[in-house]
Structures are given as C-alpha cells and as structure tokens.
Amino acid sequence: MTINLELPKKLKASVELTHQAAAEVLRPIARKYDLAEHQPPKELDTASALYDGLAAAGQAPSGSSGDRKTDEAEKPKPKPTVDPTASRNGGTMESIINAIEMCWGDVGLMLAFPYQGLGNAAIAAVATDEQLERFGKVWASMAITEPGFGSDSAAVSTTAVRDGDEWVLNGTKIFVTSGGRADHIVVWATLDKSLGRAAIKSFVVPREHPGVTVTRLEHKLGIKASDTAEIRFENARIPLDNILGSAEINVEKGFAGVMQTFDNTRPLVAAMAIGCARASLEELRRVLEDAGVVIDYDLPINAQSYAAAEFIRLESDWEAAFQLTLKAGWMADNKLPNSMQASMAKAKAGRVGSDVTLKAVELAGTVGYSERTLLEKWARDSKILDIFEGTQQIQQLIIARRTLDLTSAQLK
C-alpha cells in the first residue's frame, strides 16, 4: 500500500486561512490569557462568529470534528485493500492540519475556541444521522476521567440508569477540558458496572441542566486559556436518545464502540503537539541564528556545533511525528482501521512535543527561560499533550497489544 503524505493541494487554502487566523488572532493574545487564567477569551467569540459566517459561505475549513465512523465501518471485515485512485483526504485530514496551524498559534486558545471541543469529535465518531442533526451545532466538551481513575478509561463509575423515557446520570468527572464554557458535555457512564467495559456508553448532556454542576476550575501548569473543570452529576435526567450509538450492551464487542472516539481524537491531540513544537522550532531557529549559530544541512552532525546538531535532531524527530499523524488521519478518511496508528501518532507526537519545547528553552538560554518569547509557555503547554487522551504509557500498551495480537486481559 502506497500513501502519499505530501499535503494535499485541495487543503492548502484551508491551511493558509487557518494559519492566518492563528497568526493574527491567537498568537497576539497568547501571553495575555496565559497570565489571566479562567478569564474567558472574548476575542475568540468574535473570531468564532466570523468563522461561522465563512462556513455558511463555504469558505471556512472544517473544525475538529474529524471524520465519522459509520455503523457499516464498525462491522468486522477482511483486511481491506486500497485502490490508490480511490484514496481521499476528508474531514479527519483537514481537522489535523487545521489543529496544527491553530496550535502553532496557541494550544490553550485552540482548546478554548467555541464549537471545537473534543466532545465534537466524539459526536462525529459515533452519532446517528438524527443525532448529528441535533448536536451538529453544539459546543461539546468530553468528560471521561474521574477522581478514582486516570488512564484506565474502563474504570468508569459514573452511572446511567434508565427510568422510563430518560437516563439518570450520577457521578463526578474531573479534568474536563472547556467544561466550564462548552454548552454540552459528552459524558462516559456505565449502564451496568457488573458487565465491565461493554456497559460503558457516552451521553450528550447540556451543561446548564438540572443536576449538572461545575464544582471548580483547575489551576494548571499550562494551557491556562482553556478552562479545565470538575463537574458533578446528581440525578441529571436526559432523554433516551441522548445516548451516542446503541444502548445495547454487547459483551462480545466489549469496549470497542466507545473507544472508537479515540481513533478520531488521538490524531488531533498529536496534531496539537506537532503545531506547538513547530512554533518552538521556528522561534529557536531565529534565536540561534541571531546568536550566530549556523545550521548547515550539508554538513555531518559531528562537524557542527552542539546547538546546530541538536536542532537538526529535533527537526527530524518532529518530521517523523508529523508523518505518523498524517498517516493515521489518512487511514481514518479512507475507512481503514487506524486504532494502532492513532496511538502511534499520539505517543510519538506527545513525546516529541515535550522534547522539542523543553530543549528549545534550554538551547535559547536566558531568552528561552524568560517571558521575552513564548518558548517557556510552549514548554508548559506541551506537557498536557503527552497526557490527555491517553498517556504515553497507555499508548505504548495499546501499540504492544495490537502488534502482539493480545487482549487487554492478556497484556496489562
């Protein structure tokens, strides 16, 4: 199978428009909202309104919704063969390259951008046609983590109990990105704890709703422009059809239905890390060149200064993460199973993001450590991108299971 990972020509206009927004809207206010944690970025509301106008005119790129996984795509199939002439670049690829550009501007502001929540990617992944019609215009955060667990998504203890024509939700979620601002929340809850992973489903819940309380906003190392909330659900009643996908508990299928969400969102988080790291590389190059460091790609590494050699190493590592992420997105758009590739992209990009941004602070010396540039901010922002949507260790575990063809019970 041959995949051309050059940027598709049809997406170049989208990239240019998004880069312009990142440069003119996000980058200039990045420091302002880093210093004003929990203050809503009002400039984003104006930008969002403009974005909606362009979208209505067919001139705006798609957001972070990614590409949808249909019921047909969920059915077991023989290993597909790909006709290169039928290859396509769709919503996932466009979302990835737009996320890269937005996070080149600012990761926190990108996460705070109205209607671009990770919950929107979850809705795109598993919603029915009717649900897409109802929830297609909402701004959705995603609530998975609880006080009792972090990386083990199967340990969900928030409950959803059917009562007539409604689901009744009870439980507490923590570290909900944009949980205080998004108007809806995609909540992971179990229908029956005794049935394990198979009983975990996702539900769309309005944030301003009886029984739903935002109990606190976290103070964080980075992405301070994006609020991170703790949310409590106390007998929160929602309609039966607010469950994403089927309410049927299929023990044989297990956790696969809900976990499809991550096949969409992990490449997007990888893209965020790639965008932030690219910003650091560009700024580091400027600082090094101003200091007289020559970066020469025609010379062997051992014939160059330490700073130049390290820059080339970081740049090549970044390129590997970029290509892995494009591959995961391309596979999603072409209806190929991409669970392992999504985890590979997330693992590589998350690690590279932290490595590049921290090394940039080190190599830039006092300039990197001070607030004269955004280098120290990008180093703080990048850390979360190696944690949320599954930590580095979880991604490696998933990759190992796929490579060795072992179940989660066989390899823990």
Q: Helix H segments across 232-299?
A: 256-290
Identify the active-site residue in 94, 101, 376, 389. 389
For 293, phi then psi, to 5°, come to -80, 130
Q: Which residues pair with 185 in a beta bridge?
A: 141, 205
389 tagged catalytic = yes
Q: Measure CA 85 to chain center.
A: 30
- Tell me the CB-side half-sphere exposure of residue 381, using CA atoms within 13 A: 32
Decide: residue 235, CB within 10 A, 0-12 exposed, 13-18 middle, 19+ buried: exposed
Instruction: Give Cα separations from 156 to 60, 89, 397 (angstroms).
Output: 37, 34, 19
Asked if residues 125 and 68 have their Cβ atoms less than 8 Å apart, the reply is yes
Let me know the angle formed at the C-alpha of 319 by 99 and 289, rounded to the nearest 5 degrees.
95
Secondary structure letter of residue 225 according to DSSP:
T
Helices 375-383 and 27-34 cross at an angle (nearest 10°) of 70
Q: Which structure tokens are listed for 5?
A: 């990972």
Q: Catalytic positions, please? A: 389
